Structure 1
Amino acid sequence: VGRALFSQSPVFYLAVLVAVALWAMFRFMRAGLLLRAVGENALAADAAGHSVLRLRFSAALFTGLMAGLGGAYLCIVASGGTFIDNMTAGRGYLAIAVTLFARWKPFRVLLVALVLGLLEALQFQGQYLGIEIAPSLLMAMPFAVALIAWIMMGRAGAAPGDLGRPFLRGSGR
């Protein structure tokens, strides 16, 4: 376990640090409260005098930065510095499933992503460890677990209230 935990890329440790920092920000800081407010009820945040569009744009910019860092990690570290067609291999869908399953909580996102990452690592380590399961089944395991978890959760309303709703000042919604 020590070698697996302490011989990772610096990007891995940065991702853990960012997840913990985001959890702390959403939990304990004013900026996190404001971001949650513009996601839950943008009209209330606007009535309190906060710029909903600026906050949402900043959050989208940060999200794009993190997605770009993930793409750079895949290209530089995971594939040896070479771009390969279909490099993500459906991992974007896993990212969406992770977010839904973790109910938009950064620390839970980290834990769920680690579990799915361990399941993905089984496709490489499973044959070495002598697991008598077809490699194609091991490759599908993270997706199957994500799908089963998604089905088990049903339509649990954990999503932010104004998720996907455009904000137009003075429109009443």
Structure 2
Amino acid sequence: MDYFEDIEVGRKASFGNYHVTREEVIEFASKYDPQPFHLDDEAAAQTHFGRLSASGWHTCAMMMSMLVENMKSHRQAGLGSPGMDNLRWTKPVYPGDTLRVESEVISKRRSASRPEMGLFKSYVKVFNQDDETVLEMTSNGLIRVRNPEAPIEA
């Protein structure tokens, strides 16, 4: 299991293979983002999307699915997340696209007030099958410290 001490700044990962279906795009949008360009071909054709597109929040959910699946194969002493920074949807996601993720750990620090946990930041990008970036963000992850009694390095 990976703990805070095992996280290396600069570590990169590439993973995921998520096929986006028309049915899932419409199902997600119907429930969480019922805008016409996520639900209806004719309405979507009249927008800058040109055709039915996935909600950005659906793209986030698909990314999260790939992140969690990757964490299962690389067991981590994770404690959740206090949020994300600089989320950008850079290109629409369409039914028929296949998504994948690349991430890089960009920083880490121990918590001064909670010595049993640390925080690490990762720059995350989601790509479609043409290697075009469709989403980018900075992820903030909380993780257990293996030895909370160890001094916090400055």
Same fold (TM over 0.5): no
Determine which structure has the larger helix proportion and give its number.
1
Structure number with larger C-alpha Rg: 1
TM-score, normalising length: structure 1: 0.28
Determine which structure has the larger strand proportion and give its number.
2
